[in-house]
A and B are shown apart, each in its own frame.
Chain A
Amino acid sequence: MSKREYRRRQFLGYVGGLAGAAALAACGATPAAGPAEPGAQERVEAASEVTLEWWEYPMWEGVTGQETVGLSQDDPKRAEFTAADWPNWAAAEFAKDNPGFSAKVETLTWDEGRNKLTVAATTGAGRPHLFLEDGPVIIKFAKVGAMLPVELSAEDQEDFFPGSLQAGSSDGKLWYRPWLAGSRFLLVNRAIFQERGVEDLIPTEGDRLWDFEQFLEAALATTFTRDSGEQVFGYTSHFAHSAAHFWVDSFLWGYGGRIFDETGEKCVINSPECEQGLQLMADMQNKHNVMPPGSAGLQSTNVDTMFYQGQLAMMLGSHGSSRAIRMAKEDGTIPNPDAIDIYPIMFPSKLPDIQPSVYTVFMGFGQFDTGTDVEKATAARFVDFITNTENAKAPLAANLLPCRKSSSDVFEGDEFMLYALQAMNFGHEDTLSPYYDACNRILNPMWQAILSAERTPKEALAEAEERCNDLIAEIQSA
């Protein structure tokens, strides 16, 4: 092999070039963040160019979400539409009244988006000006000093659903402007109930409430083996998923149990009510056998697959289920569309004494404490704009619920979404505890331990309460 010889001048030239590039890159660093100064608002008008960084989850493709309707998953036309279309459209609309304004939209992924935001919040590096997230997550960011508070007009205060404001409030301040909401409930495959001749077991009146005995009766009636040898189960949901609390908690709340006390700062899960809820779950797995074997390790994809293949009569449902199932029918993921006929109902509870409760979620736009005063003031005005009554209807494109009363008239005639909206009334204040997510990290494995008979409900609850309170103390001391 021949050696290539470098001349000294040539080599120093390369080194100099690299050093210059590094120096230029360093000059592009974001200016240090600081509190907004009074009068910054006025300077927005004077500013000629303001570019905001906006991190957004991929909610739907196209501006209205209708652009891709009817296109198959492999249709090349789909490539013309992206999840950044609506954010870009909104920025362009805002720029009409605010010349010089632009937004640099970055679409996060659902898997890693929160990690990325978390790194930005905790390290302070590379923070965008605004982003979309869950209320309690934004509160978590606020607690580490990463957020700017939001001021609402009296009119807005009245128009947003109270739950949505509560979900983003902490220490007497609101940390986001609510934009979209979601609710959880039970999803029934009526086709399996019809197949078993027990359709009358499904509650259909009013809020579609039922008690635990009725629920268990329905689960038992829909657990059977088809002539083909195919096994059908009455109920299950994902335990292995980090979001098992989306549905497990409803079993605790349905017996009157609570995870946190009224302050939301102390775990009180070790109660007879919670034990009852968990005992029912354990019995459904190990005694009544209405849940598939090994439900402790079930992922959400396992559950969806069973439901789509007509092997599961009831599972966790949400505001997005209707759309997801419609799309699965269209693209063939559901092999036999006639075998799936979804109907939303409420989680069971100890009626008539105890009303059911469900997990609700509220997402909104938060503003990181970053950028110049002009950028901060512009970002605040822009967030006002994208959460106004008209723009609050945008998430309907993804079958999500609006957070404004004035935007909720759009579900006329859509029974499924009307019920999803109805279910928002059954939210539980446990979900607003700042420690809810952190404690679920401890609680989910406990549910798995109960299902796999490694722990009794009583043992698991005692251990869970102690560990949750230790964790809360650790977080508070930090």
Chain B
Amino acid sequence: MVSSMAETWRRHREAYLLLALPLAIIVIFRVLTVGGAFWISVVRYGPRGAPFVGLANYAATLQDDLFWRSMFNTLYYSVGVVPLGIAVSLGLSQLIFNLGRRTQMFYKAAFYLPMVVSGVVMSLVWLWMFDPVYGLLNWLFQQVGLEPLLWLRSPKTAMPSLILMAVATGQGASIVLLTASMGSIPDPLYESARVDGANGWHEFRHITVPLLRPTILYLLIMGTIGSFQVFNSIYVMTSGGPYHATETAVYLLYTYAFQMLNFSRASAIGVILAVILALVSALQYRFVARGSVEY
């Protein structure tokens, strides 16, 4: 056993040594920081010292009404943004995929464009669009005879407004991935289906979507992680309001850390969020990956 390990080391030591540097970077900048966050969450962190307090920060967090409200808001946002976003991306990808190559490129670039614009700039533009008195959306509503909405300025409509913005501007990467995956589905599958009398919807439902499952799974997991960590748009557009309606877990973490100087509570929220995300991702993987179609 030992001699086998020694032999492996002898044969591959340059490779191991080359891997040592990136591994060290991962350990220093990922593992240690995550470990540091966990350590801060079990102490009372301050410049005079950091006495160990066990799970007290977790207990305080779990008893905090605002934490549960922020978790509900996070879930609300994720459930709104991720499935809706994937559905919209799938539909748009299907439409784009059937176009000519140049037109495809144009639409992919057009949908990807918001992704390269700073989130803060995008939020400022949408702030104007959402303005109840002077904004574009209410003006459009008035043109078609609809009642104006308060959008970000009412606790009832603020979160749906943020979801709308995220879905409308955040599908660029998904469309690029989905159209690329669609290109890898073998044509004979569609030809056989057509011979059997399948129409466009049947092809989409029974061939395209099942064969895109790995890409959809990837989008689902990454989208959920991203939506659980939403911060920029909330920081710029609503500051978590009105009346906590858009206060998500990461925004609450920020306020605990930088407004209330309670880094231990903030770290406890971060650790809880990480555990929840890991569980959600595992569940998604289990359920969506099950029954994957191979071809």
Chain A residues packing against B (C-beta within 8 Å): 6, 8, 11, 15, 18, 114-115, 118, 121-124, 140, 144-146, 231, 239-242, 292-299, 301-302, 306, 311, 437-438, 441, 444-446, 448-449, 451-452, 454-455, 474, 478
Contacts and interface: CB of A to CB of B under 8 A. Distances in A.
Contacts of A114: 258
A294 B21 CA distance: 54
Nearest to B47: A124
Interface string B208-246: 000000000000000000000000000001111111100
Contacts of A115: 258
Nearest to A369: B47
Contacts of A121: 47, 261
Contacts of A8: 14
A145 to B, nearest CB: 5
Nearest to B148: A293
Contact of B18 (A11, A145, A239, A445): A11
Interface of B: 14, 17-18, 20-21, 44-48, 60, 124, 127, 131-134, 148, 150-155, 158, 237-244, 255, 258-263
Give the 3 A-B residue pairs with the shortest CB-CB distance, closest first. A294-B153, A297-B153, A294-B150
Contacts of B20: 15
A240 B263 CA distance: 24
A197 B20 CA distance: 78
B154 A478 contact: no
A39 B6 CA distance: 62
A388 to B, nearest CB: 31
Contacts of B259: 242, 437-438, 441
A296 B18 contact: no
A114 B261 CA distance: 11
A122 B263 contact: yes
16 contacts: A11-B17, A11-B18, A18-B21, A122-B263, A124-B47, A239-B242, A240-B238, A240-B242, A294-B152, A295-B153, A299-B239, A441-B255, A445-B243, A451-B242, A452-B243, A478-B44
Contacts of B239: 240-242, 299
Nearest to A446: B243
A299 B126 CA distance: 13
A144 B48 contact: yes
Given A6-B14, A297-B154, A452-B243, A144 B127 contact: no
A114 B258 CA distance: 8
Given A15-B17, A145-B46, A449-B243, 10 more contacts: A6-B18, A140-B261, A240-B239, A296-B154, A296-B242, A297-B151, A302-B127, A445-B242, A445-B243, A452-B154
Contacts of A438: 259-260
Contacts of B44: 478
Given A240-B238, A441-B255, A441-B259, A293 B153 contact: yes
A297 B241 contact: yes
Best-buried of B127, B151, B243 by chain A (most CB within 10 Å): B243
Contacts of A18: 21
A140 B134 CA distance: 41
Contacts of B243: 296, 445-446, 448-449, 452, 454-455
Contacts of A295: 153
Contacts of A441: 255, 259-260
A64 B124 CA distance: 33
Contacts of A445: 240-244
Contact of B150 (A6, A297, A301): A297
B127 A301 contact: yes
Contacts of A448: 155, 241-243
Contact of B242 (A6, A297, A474): A297
B287 to A, nearest CB: 37
A146 B47 contact: yes
Contact of A240 (B48, B241, B258): B241
A299 B21 CA distance: 47
A297 B127 CA distance: 11
B63 to A, nearest CB: 11
A145 B18 CA distance: 45
